[in-house]
Amino acid sequence: MQNSNNNVPQRRSSRTWTQRVTQMLPGFNHPAQEQQIYNDENAPDNVQLSVVLLGNLKHKDYRNKLASIIQALVDARHSYLDHVDENWQPFLNCLQEAFVFFDEKPPVRDYRENFTIENYRMLFQRESSAYRDDVCRGVKRIRDGMWVNGEEVKFEGYLIDQGNELASRGETIMDLVYHLENTGVCAHLMNPEDICKPSSQHQRHVSIERFRLALYSFDERYVVFEKNYIEALIAVEKQSRSLVQQVAELIMELAESGEKVNQKLLDQMAELNKKSRDCFNCQYDNRVLRMILNKEYERTVHPKLWYLPKELFEKFDDICKYLRDLLPKILRVHPKLEHNPGLVQRLEKFHEVYQRVMQWIVSDNPMTAFCEFLDKNLPDVGLETSVEKCLLIPRAFLIFVWTQRHEIALNSQSSLAKLVHDFHPEMLVQLSTALTSSELEDAPIAVMVEEIITKGVETPERTPVAKSMEAVSVTLQRTNANAWNAFLSVILHEEEDVSEKMARPRLPSV
């Protein structure tokens, strides 16, 4: 097994574990022999009893304490196997108690002070567990690999081997605890005079010795695995945070140079969005942000839509400020970016507004033309003031589409044609059915507005044409409700109030 940079700290005793074992087990010089000794319950004579242990077992207090420890191990083993406990920690705590009892001092974990990532250093300082369930469960994680921010992490082969060795020692410990229970060791320790046969007493003492040696072996394997496993996780975390750090540092560099944004920053933000939200269609163009900075959109876009580019840059500034504040605390950021809600929400909002800007500001789209249509034909109506007035918008859109029907027929790939198809593919057919049988087919727009909107179904003078158009209007709103509501929300934009802004997380989530 490769053991580079994996030196195990020696115990604070005059003898190392290997020296202790070789003294107790004559001829032992290979882990395979050790494993055979632990697993071979029918060959207790392979273990030479420790003189110190035999001496301690003569004292009643020692036997009673050992009996309580073994019983706690037995109970914890049953709880774990019966799935009463969701983790292995209660059993591991009992193992730690047994180690302290046998060795008369806690297991050595000085190497934990050298963990560099604050999360781990604080975690191990805060908790006194010598054996941790999450570390033991890491054995399966390193076998299967793990996914962090959409990328699969594979561990080195030597770490997998060390994990397998730890798992093997854990299984041995479990088996030996079962053996201690099955052979009635606890009852023997509490009432040794009830055991008549010296051979039975010797066999139980051997079982205790085998458990003690197996516990030392488990401890050694645990130290090696934990040290290298945590160091491997630290490396993974450092790599996973590197993108956040790069983006934050680039924002700082741009601020110092007086530049607001460039393509490199946008590319990194897109990558950050992909990894934190599994949003694989992120792609941002610096020309769009430059157009917004120079306010070039004001020449071609209806003023009702100017809030979109302004909001986009507000979201961009919000992300930049957040990441600048996050940079000094980078080591405390969760390695899985999706667990940073402050960052995820900001990226999500930026992406959402960017998509709207691309759809309604940058590209050739009918939104500006429709807004101009509303200004000309429904001036000072206050469409956003009531539900009844909001219902005028789909009716007005039908008239707008009807006036553009020839353009739609000539160019089925135009933005308006695609929009009509998204909302309701049969819209023109239904409009033709409703209007061609009336005198409104070629009527001026003002006349159509008067007939269909001013004399609509809510008015006493409603006409058959208005009723037919209302049916088409309802179908427009229901066929693709999501698309229509998104279109409508752009026109009926409401400014975010102060309370809503304050509800969003403003400080870095660490």
Mean pLDDT of 177-196: 79
DSSP secondary-structure letter at 44?
G
Considering the domain architecture, whether residues 75 and 162 belong to the same structural domain is answered as yes
Domain boundary residue, one of 322, 342, 363: 363
CA distance 475 to 201: 89
Domain boundary residue, one of 306, 334, 363: 363
Domains of the chain: total: 3
Considering the domain architecture, whether residues 356 and 397 belong to the same structural domain is answered as no
pLDDT at 119: 65
Residue 491 domain-assigned (yes or no)? no
Query: For residue range 293-345, what is the model confidence (pLDDT) as tens digits?
Result: 999 999 899 999 999 999 999 999 999 999 999 888 887 777 788 888 899 99
Residue 284 domain-assigned (yes or no)? yes
Considering the domain architecture, whether residues 301 and 184 belong to the same structural domain is answered as no
pLDDT at 45: 46
Considering the domain architecture, whether residues 174 and 144 belong to the same structural domain is answered as yes
Mean pLDDT of 223-229: 94
DSSP secondary-structure letter at 418?
H
Query: For residue range 27-54, what is the model confidence (pLDDT) as tens digits?
Result: 333 333 333 334 443 344 467 788 888 8
Query: For residue range 437-447, what is the model confidence (pLDDT) as tens digits?
Result: 777 778 888 88
Contacts of 6 (CB under 8 A, 6+ apart): 158, 162, 224, 227, 228
CA distance 177 to 54: 20
Query: For residue range 99-135, what is the model confidence (pLDDT) as tens digits?
Result: 999 999 999 998 888 887 766 766 676 678 899 998 9
Considering the domain architecture, whether residues 146 and 22 belong to the same structural domain is answered as yes
Residue 43 domain-assigned (yes or no)? yes
Nearest Cα residue to 476 out of 361, 396, 406, 369: 396
Q: Does 8 score more than 70 pLDDT? A: no
Nearest Cα residue to 161 out of 225, 227, 231, 214: 225
Domain boundary residue, one of 171, 205, 239: 239
284: left (phi over 0), alpha (psi -120 to 50) or beta: beta
Considering the domain architecture, whether residues 345 and 470 belong to the same structural domain is answered as no
CA distance 108 to 90: 20
Nearest Cα residue to 367 out of 253, 489, 193: 489
Residue 443 domain-assigned (yes or no)? yes
Query: Residue 486 is encoded by which pair of tokens?
Result: 């998104």
CA distance 261 to 354: 15
Query: For residue range 146-157, what is the model confidence (pLDDT) as tens digits?
Result: 777 777 788 889
Considering the domain architecture, whether residues 105 and 195 belong to the same structural domain is answered as yes
Kindly report the three-state secondary structure assignment for every residue of 238-295: HHHHHHHHHHHHHHHHHHHHCCCCCHHHHHHHHHHHHHHHCCCCCCCCHHHHHHHHCC
Query: For residue range 252-299, what is the model confidence (pLDDT) as tens digits?
Result: 999 999 888 999 999 999 988 888 877 777 899 999 999 999 999 998
The rounded percent of the chain whose pLDDT value lies above 90 is: 41
Query: For residue range 418-473, what is the model confidence (pLDDT) as tens digits?
Result: 999 999 999 999 999 888 877 777 888 888 888 777 766 566 667 788 888 888 99
Mean pLDDT of 347-363: 91
Q: Does 65 score more than 90 pLDDT? A: yes
Place of tokens 């179908």: 475
Considering the domain architecture, whether residues 323 and 397 belong to the same structural domain is answered as no
* Cβ proximity of 187 and 68 under 8 Å: no
Q: Using CA of residue 135, residue 136, residue 142, residue 148, what is the dihedral sign?
A: negative
CA–chain centroid gap for 278, Å, is 10
Considering the domain architecture, whether residues 283 and 377 belong to the same structural domain is answered as no
Residue 251 domain-assigned (yes or no)? no
Nearest Cα residue to 89 out of 100, 99, 78, 76: 76
Residue 44 domain-assigned (yes or no)? yes
pLDDT at 508: 44
Angle (deg, nearest 10), helices 157-182 and 60-81 = 120
Residue 10 domain-assigned (yes or no)? no
Considering the domain architecture, whether residues 223 and 298 belong to the same structural domain is answered as no
Residue 37 domain-assigned (yes or no)? yes
Contacts of 156 (CB under 8 A, 6+ apart): 232
Query: Residue 325 is encoded by which pair of tokens?
Result: 């504040």
pLDDT at 2: 41
Considering the domain architecture, whether residues 205 and 268 belong to the same structural domain is answered as no
Considering the domain architecture, whether residues 475 and 382 belong to the same structural domain is answered as yes
Query: Residue 29 is encoded by which pair of tokens?
Result: 């010089």
Structural domain containing residue 139: 17-239
CA–chain centroid gap for 290, Å, is 33
430 CB-side CA count, 13 A = 19
What is the number of other CB atoms lying within 10 angstroms of the CB of residue 335?
Answer: 19
pLDDT at 69: 94
